Chain A
Amino acid sequence: MRALVVDDEPPARREMRRLLAQFPWLEIVGEAGGASEAQAQIENLCPDLLFLDIQMPGGSGFDLLARLEHVPRVIFTTAHDEHAVRAFDVNALDYLLKPIDPRRLEAALAKIKSADSPAPTEARPALEQLFVRDGTRCWFVPLREVQLLTSEGNYVRLHWGRIRPLLARSLAAVEQRLDPTLFFRANRSQIVNLRFIESIDAGLNGRLHAQLRDGPEVEISRRQARFFKELTSI
């Protein structure tokens, strides 16, 4: 597993490297001292795991995550901002308090290792999770759990259970990064998660309507209906 250390204080980065030397299965591919540097490193090196400080010059750790296309797993490291991390509505997220207790680090890494799935083989892996910030709230959104993506102007509305955060990207940009076997472009403004389709009805005008589990009904445009039939072999 490849990890990147992001912290603006050089001694803190050295300390992190030293602590991580105990875990030979973890390869430290680089380090960064600020949000912009980190963004470049992440795009170049595609690490699987980030050790991320929260207070940094040129944008916080949260700012960095919100800017990323591909969000790796994250372990926040912080001296005193644990309340900021805890304020998340987060699923599966860990944070370590500096100075870092080696036992806590070991526990956090054990959790990551046990949840580790085989690395994607494609050159550009399909998105697994998104970091979404809407107002003061943040989420790591696992894309498999998103029912529906709806275009709203230049933004994309994610339908993730009862949470509907807005993502500052275009639908086309998000579509490129989605797993095509899981997500289907139903019409000009909507992408559905195939796993959430409960039933398909043919409407009076011959159009297909997909009813989503615990969600709205989505009309499949005539142009897309053909692909849909191929894909789902109806």
Chain B
Amino acid sequence: MNRLPADSSIISGSSSRKASSSRRPYWACQLIGWGAHTAAQLVAVISFLHLPWLRAALEIFLLNGIGLLLSDRLHSYIRHRNWSPSPLRPLVGRIIVTSFVLATPLGLLTPFTSVRLLQDPATLPDSVPTFLLRLDPGLTVALNWINWAAVFALWLIIYFVILSMRRRRFAELRQSELARALQQAELRLLKSQLNPHFLFNSLNTVRSLIADDPQRAQNAVTRLANTLRYTLGAGQDEKVSLARELEIVADYLEIESIRFETRLSIRYQVSAEAAGVQIPVMLLQTVVENAIKHGIAELPQGGVLEIRGIVQDGMLQLSVMNSRPPVILPKAEPGTGLRNAAERLRLLFGPTARIELDLSGAEVAVTRISIPAQQ
């Protein structure tokens, strides 16, 4: 039986979560089903066959009680073995075999019940239809056996119809949950990539520049547009040359230096060889944004931001160094961005690619990135 492990874990996960709430409908179905069967047998045996009613009733209650017990054990067994409603063919085989197996003890009890009275004309009550009298005792057992098997088969059919309906509903629910979660994740990603704080502050800067220095305002709009276009176009698994990424970083930093004026000074030291190396798109940009946000923006006197890139032993060694306040304020957890970046690097370049944040310097933070140098 080749079932997808993921699929079965989803189903069993949701059914175990709902275990307590689904017990009540299960027992309701059980009691209604077996109750109806008991009632039908009582009517048949007492008003149709006119057997001694007290004894017959006790027997019917006992037999149906055993049936209820057996079907409940069967329910546990099916859950334990994780029988699936599909494919249909093996299920039909299972239902037939199981029904006859479970019907066996009940069928074998037949000779000890009041039905036996039908074989003995001396004890036979009046007004019993005569065709029943001619039946051989062995045949009676067989007929009863088949009768009980049919009852269990019906039980199993109802059971699997309900089970497959429930599974389909869970699957649909799960699907829509997944779709919604995915949408939300995409939206969050887009929002964080757009960096609304930067975007609106930049627009405010541009508004101010329009009056102060129209030419710089034009320049700022161009650079802001470049940054936005690059950000919106960047896919999660895309790679670009360091040179291309640096262009955008420079555009971004240009806007930030208009905002912070003298508070921000920038240095670049990137070798020509390093500039040709492929890196994940937006990686450096994100690191630089963080350096501004947690570093320069927190310093009243401002600070220095330095980007260095060299190729050493076949690895691109990229570092972003920035001034930072001596005490890191316990704001948002800074770890998640770094963890995401590390995960991306590992997926794109394997285990040799690394990113780490070094806060050992008192007033400086260094982010170091190592990536295998592929031109």
Name A's B-contacting residues (CB within 8 A): 8-12, 14-15, 18, 33-34, 36-37, 55, 57-58, 79-81, 97-100
Contact = CB atoms under 8 A, between A and B. Distances in A.
A100 B201 CA distance: 10
Interface stretch (B18-26, B81-89, B296-304, B358-366): B296-304
29 contacts: A8-B260, A9-B259, A10-B261, A11-B204, A11-B208, A11-B209, A11-B258, A11-B259, A11-B261, A12-B201, A12-B208, A14-B208, A14-B212, A15-B208, A18-B208, A33-B300, A37-B300, A55-B197, A57-B299, A58-B298, A58-B300, A58-B325, A79-B196, A79-B200, A79-B201, A97-B200, A99-B204, A99-B206, A99-B207
A9 B260 contact: yes
A14 B259 CA distance: 11
Contacts of B300: 8, 33-34, 36-37, 57-58
A8 B197 CA distance: 14
Contacts of A57: 297-300, 325
B1 interface: no
A33 B261 CA distance: 12
B157 to A, nearest CB: 56
Given A9-B259, A18-B208, A57-B297, 6 more contacts: A8-B260, A11-B258, A11-B259, A33-B300, A55-B297, A57-B299
Interface of A, helix, strand, loop or mixed by DSSP: loop
Interface in B98-113: none
B205 interface: yes
A36 B208 CA distance: 25
Interface in B212-246: 212
Contact of B196 (A34, A36, A80, A100): A80
A57 B298 CA distance: 4
A58 B204 CA distance: 22
A80 B205 CA distance: 14
A160 B341 CA distance: 48
3 nearest CB pairs, A to B = A79-B200, A15-B208, A11-B208
Given A9-B259, A12-B208, A14-B212, A99 B203 contact: yes
B205 to A, nearest CB: 5
Contacts of A9: 201, 204-205, 259-261
Contacts of A58: 298, 300, 325
A207 B218 CA distance: 76
Contact of A15 (B204, B258, B260): B204
B211 interface: yes
Nearest to A77: B204
A181 to B, nearest CB: 41
Contacts of B197: 55, 79-81
Contacts of A8: 260, 297, 300
Nearest to A14: B208
Contacts of A36: 300
A37 B203 CA distance: 25
Nearest to A16: B208
Given A9-B259, A14-B212, A18-B211, A98 B297 contact: no
